[in-house]
Amino acid sequence: MAELQFREAIREALSEEMRRDETVFIMGEEVAEYDGAYKVTQGMLAEFGPKRVIDTPISELGFAGIGVGAAMNGLRPVVEFMTFNFALVGIDQILNNAAKIRYMSGGQVPMPMVFRGPNASAGQLGATHSVSFENLYAHYPGLKVICTSEPADAKGLLKSAIRDDNPVIFLESEQMYGLKGEVPEGEHLIPIGKGKVKREGKDVTLVAHGKMYHVAVKAAAELAKNGVECEIIDPRTIKPFDLPLVLESVRKTNRCVIVDEAHPFAGTSAEVGFLIQREAFDHLDAPVLRVTLPDTPAPFSRPLFDLWYPSAKQVIDAVNAVTYRN
């Protein structure tokens, strides 16, 4: 295995799929001449040329629509948004066209495309650049939603997303592009919809994806010093969600805390918590608790941001609550 940064794992997945399949291309703002805003596509213009690595105008609605049209005509576009906050400008193409065309055509028109780019908070970027969008896209039928936390998962799931005949939302983190991890070389595919137990434990189940996985890991390490062993599940895919994996863990530990970088009302954590209590109620020795953002926009002030953002201490407090250690 090679040790790669998160950005390098994504680049490797893109490059391997573009070499394998000439119908795959990438388009977005600054993906070509500038090598990508976050250097994800560095060197790809030189290898694949301007017909397959395409700089677009600053018009998310326009190039999202071009991607939809290309997918309808047999290509496999990867559409990069510089941030998913900007994808709101093109959301009509995503929700009303990409998500629905295969259904409305009775399956006659596949929609093999990926929308990818940074999601959620990247630090002190203010309220309009700090939104976590996975629950929004997961709400709409026709879309698959992926939010990975480690480089190996990013590579394996992006390759699967590019090969899928349905539109896939692939959410990354600007703060994790430099994160390093071992990544299998060559053909590495992870099925969409399969989570993973990334830490074995017996006392409480932590469900966490994206950056929150790393918050959960930090909390679990601290809790282990006091004899509390957390099992950490990284769902990796938000939709379809690997509920059987989570239920299996909850039936073992009898307790669950969900860590989610989104607001509490109608978020992913709300849906997952409901499903756990519906399907495994008799196995629970405590209510399912959530650690989320507060129900406010992101503050710019650093002290306020640190209070606003989910922390390992909040996870520890929630675990202590469900294990009755408070």
Q: Are 275 and 308 in contact (CB under 8 A)?
A: no
Give backbone dihedrals phi and psi of 279, rounded to 5 degrees, phi first: -95, -20
C-alpha–C-alpha distance, residues 164 and 1, integer Å: 25
Contacts of 49 (CB under 8 A, 6+ apart): none
Per-domain residue ranges of the chain: 2-183, 196-322
Class of the domain covering 2-183: alpha beta
C-alpha–C-alpha distance, residues 146 and 237, integer Å: 4
2-183 matches 196-322 in fold: yes
Q: Are 264 and 310 in contact (CB under 8 A)?
A: no
> Per residue in 293-325, pLDDT tens?
999 999 999 999 999 999 999 999 999 999 988
Name the packing angle between helices 243-253 and 268-279 (round to 10°): 60
Q: What is the mean pLDDT of residues 9-35?
A: 98
Q: Are 162 and 24 in contact (CB under 8 A)?
A: yes
Provide the token pair at 246. Answer: 């989570």
The amino acid at 110: P
- What percent of the chain is predicted at pLDDT more than 70? 100
Using DSSP, state whether 262 is helix, strand or coil.
Answer: coil
Helix extents (H) in 53-120? 60-72, 91-92, 101-104
C-alpha–C-alpha distance, residues 146 and 108, integer Å: 25
> Per residue in 185-234, pLDDT tens?
989 999 999 999 999 999 999 999 999 999 999 999 999 999 999 999 99
Name the packing angle between helices 6-20 and 151-163 (round to 10°): 30
C-alpha–C-alpha distance, residues 49 and 66, integer Å: 19
Judge whether residue 326 has pLDDT over 80.
no
Using DSSP, state whether 182 is helix, strand or coil.
Answer: strand
Q: Are 265 and 273 in contact (CB under 8 A)?
A: no
CATH number of the domain located at residue range(s) 196-322 in this protein: 3.40.50.920
Q: Which residues form the catalytic set?
A: 60, 129
> Per residue in 85-130, pLDDT tens?
999 999 999 999 999 999 999 999 999 999 999 999 988 899 999 9
